[in-house]
Structure 1
Amino acid sequence: MGAALLSLSVTSCGEESASGTSTASSSVAATSSAPVTPAAAPCSKPPALPSSVPTFSAAPDKADAAGKTFVATVHTTCGDIVLELDGAKAPQTVASFRQLAEKAYWKDSPCHRLTTDGIYVLQCGDPTGSGSGNPGYGYGIENAPADGAYPAGSLAMARTQDPNSNGGQFFVVYEDSTIDPSTGGYSIFGHVTKGMDILAKIAKAGVSGGGADGPPAQPISILSVAVTEKKA
């Protein structure tokens, strides 16, 4: 990542993060009649980092995803996280995500960053685990919120200060966050439909070694990603 505290970014050869403050989400105390959400299952041991990482010469044609909706199932060492991808609002981002999933770009890659103070995200998508990896190409920002609001469950791209450095790293928001939009913001290209309990578990464990920004204390790695088009 190579970014300052609470800046959702990566180094110049990768992708970035963000900065800002968060808006606390309200909560309602559970009553005896309220349904109980099952606790996330225990995490398995993360695999070793991949010995080689594929790279690509260019981003795929955004027409591959334009106007379409996709469902992505991210199989992780802590359970499945299911995402809905919005190709109408972010066609280039979704086309890229789909291609990287199909090419097993994220196989055995760790989620390398958790932020817990001001913005609340888990950042993944770098097979090197360093925060500076990228798939060999970059592209511009799509569908960044003008007001800087990233609701819990949002799925967005990480990048460097270069607005055209979106690539393979992405983040999921586990608690309502506000990120300063003055730098251009971050491409929201979908949302979580299943697995928020897993994100809550990772967030609750905090950052490895303490602090508010760094590797999650509870390791979580992506094993594989499957993407299918959602039919009307």
Structure 2
Amino acid sequence: MFAIMASLVFLPAVASAQGNDPDNTLYLDLKDGRVVIQLRPDLAPNHVERVKKLASEGFYDGIIFHRVIDGFMAQTGDPTGTGRGGSNEPDLAQEFSPAPFRRGTLGMARSSDPNSANSQFFIMFADGDWLNGQYTVFGEVIDGMQYIDNITRGEPPANPDKIVKMRVAKDAQ
């Protein structure tokens, strides 16, 4: 019981400290404003490194949100816009953790193969406990969730929103 209580007390302190780390903070610019994302290398170091690498290369710039389900999540990261594409990097092995899927959590999308995450990710509009332990948590929105809430819904949306620009904070202008 003490371990559970301690994790509830210390986890927010760790999260807060990481939010001040420009090497583990992403700026996701959308049409309505900037979303600040705290990356969680403590949970998923390989997934965090992949997203940082792709963001630094400009991979995500201009990519649409191709699957946006009201009350669930907004998914992006596919250069084809179909939900079937990814980067030229190899797929990643899962890094599942006990971190829960809550509003603002970022998870890596994958196929039915748990070791198939590549570049696609999703941001939760609401809690999704059924995803816990089934998908890799690699970050969380710490500011600008209202801009995520404004993303156009649809599978795919008729007029999808795009990532204007996504960069690691230390590299952003």
Normalised TM-score (structure 2): 0.77
**Is the contact made by 1:153 and 1:172 (CA closer than 8 Å) also made in structure 2?**
yes
Structure 1: distance between partners of 2:96 and 2:34: 26
SS in 2 for 1:222: coil
Q: Is the 8 A contact 1:106 1:224 kept in 2?
A: yes
Q: Give me the whole-angstrom Cα distance separating, in 2, the residues matched to 1:186 and 1:221.
A: 23
Letter in 1 for 2:50: S
1:178 CA displacement? 2.2
Shift of 1:218: 6.0
Q: Give the alignment partner of residue 179 of structure 1, picking from 101, 105, 130.
A: 130
Which of 145, 148, 166 lines up with 1:199 in the alignment? 148
1:130 and 2:82 correspond: yes
Deviation of residue 180 (structure 1)? 4.9
Q: Deviations over 1:3-22 (max 9, x none)?
A: xxxxxxxxxxxxxxxxxxxx
Identity %, equivalent residues: 32
The answer to which structure has the higher helix fraction is 2
SS at match of 1:197: helix
Instruction: Provide Cα deviations, 1:141-195, integer angstroms capped at 9, x if missing partner.
Output: 113438xx411010110001111111100000011122255xx611001100112
Structure 1 vs Structure 2 CA RMSD: 2.1
Note if 1:224 corresponds to 2:165.
yes
Residues 107, 127 of structure 1: 8 Å contact kept: no
For normalisation by structure 1, the TM-score amounts to 0.58
**Equivalent AA in structure 2 for residue 199 of structure 1:** I
Give the number of equivalent residue pairs.
148
The reply on whether 1:113 has 2:36 as its aligned counterpart is no
Deviations 1:33-71 (A, max 9, x none): xxxxxxxxxxxxxxxxxxxxxxxxxxxxxxxxxxx8611
Match of 2:105, as an amino acid? S
- CA-to-partner distance for each residue in 1:176-220, whole Å, 9 max, x for gaps? 122255xx6110011001121112223xx643xxxxxx1246631
Match for residue 11 of structure 2?
Answer: none
Secondary structure in structure 2 of the residue aligned to 1:80: strand
Is the CA contact (8 Å cut-off) linking 2:101 and 2:131 kept in structure 1? no
CA distance in 2, matches of 1:86, 1:163: 19
- Of 93, 100, 103, which residue of structure 2 is paired with 1:140? 93
5+ unaligned residues in a row in structure 1: which ranges? 1-67, 208-213
Verify the 8 A CA contact 2:58 2:167 in the aligned structure 1: no
Name 1:161's counterpart in structure 2: 112
State how far apart, in whole Å, the 2-side matches of 1:77 and 1:96 are: 24
Inter-partner Cα distance in structure 2 for 1:152 and 1:197: 11
The runs of at least 4 consecutive aligned structure 1 residues that moved more than 3 Å come to 143-146
1:82 alignment partner in structure 2: 36
Gaps of 5+ in 2: 1-20
CA contact (8 A) 1:143 1:189 kept: no
Residue type matched to 1:166 in 2? A
Distance 1:144 1:185, change over 3 A: farther
Classify the secondary structure of the residue corresponding to 1:192: strand
Distance 1:162 1:77 in 2: 33
Instruction: Indicate if the aligned counterparts of 1:104 and 1:225 stay in contact, CA closer than 8 A.
Output: yes
Cα distance in 2 between the residues matched to 1:144 and 1:217: 35
Quick check: 2:43–2:97 contact (8 Å CA) kept in 1? no
